[in-house]
Copies of this chain bind each other. A is one copy, B any other.
Amino acid sequence: MDIDYVSNLLKDFKAGNLTLNDALEKLKVLPYEDLEFAKLDHHRLMRQGFAEVVFCQGKTVEQVLAIVDRLADYNRSILATRASREMYEAVKKTVPEATYHELARLITVERQKPPVDQDRFVLVMSAGTSDIPVAEEAAVTAEIMGNAVKRVYDVGVAGIHRLLDQRQLIEKANVLIVVAGMEGALASVVGGMAAKPVIAVPTSIGYGANFGGLAALLSMLNSCAAGVAVVNIDNGFGAGRLASIINHMR
């Protein structure tokens, strides 16, 4: 977001050359910053409630550094996904508040905790221990976006009593994220128990005819439970982001 652009805009508004509505409208639609190899959408915070998130995979360390650097100038909270430890080490030098979440491969910057409504929590469930990295990506994403998060891991359907023990938590949750690889059946069972939206995240965990998460993906898409929607394989971030949007609805 070009800082001159905004200050001029604000001056115009103060001077009465611009109505409040016009100013807001202008701020809502236009500006982004052009780094040549990336166009930073500084305005996303205003438009969608959280700053642009950096998807690090396929970017060089230098590119990630440059982008995070610029975002750090204008935002309190920053989220970078699929980040390597090497990227984190580079970022940390210029943005010392940065934290690295090893399992979830996330870099977060959180200069000021957002207010959180503890009663409206997001419940993140995983079918197995091996699904935890994806589940953590979802959980940390939801947390940095200002949500209370509870975690219940390793409750796959082959031991249904482990899952049934969580019935009360499932009924109380405001939004549910179900992370499962292999046959992904957890989403259907939870979908039938919950009265709230269930976001299903297939993972690539498994082997053989799992085909990189295809089995869990198809399983979740064909869920016999209504109220379930699916995001991409291993896309913990997407689930956390959507859960946050829903959880902030009033």
Question: Which residues of A approach B to under 8 Å, CB–CB?
Answer: 29-30, 32, 36-39, 41, 44, 47-49, 53, 55, 57-59, 63, 82, 127-130, 132, 153-162, 164, 174, 182-185, 188-189, 191-197, 199, 202, 204-235, 237-239, 241-242, 245-246, 249-250
B-side contacts of A241, CB under 8 Å = 226-227
B221:A219 contact, CB within 8 angstroms:
no
Q: How far in angstroms is the closest Cβ of chain B from A157? A: 5
Q: In the bound complex, how far is the Cα of B157 from the Cα of A234, in angstroms?
A: 22
B-side contacts of A174, CB under 8 Å = 249
Given contacts A55-B128, A209-B214, A217-B221, 20 further A-B contacts (CB under 8 A): A30-B161, A36-B153, A39-B153, A44-B159, A48-B195, A58-B130, A63-B129, A156-B224, A157-B224, A158-B191, A159-B192, A160-B193, A174-B249, A197-B249, A208-B234, A214-B218, A222-B232, A229-B229, A230-B231, A246-B249
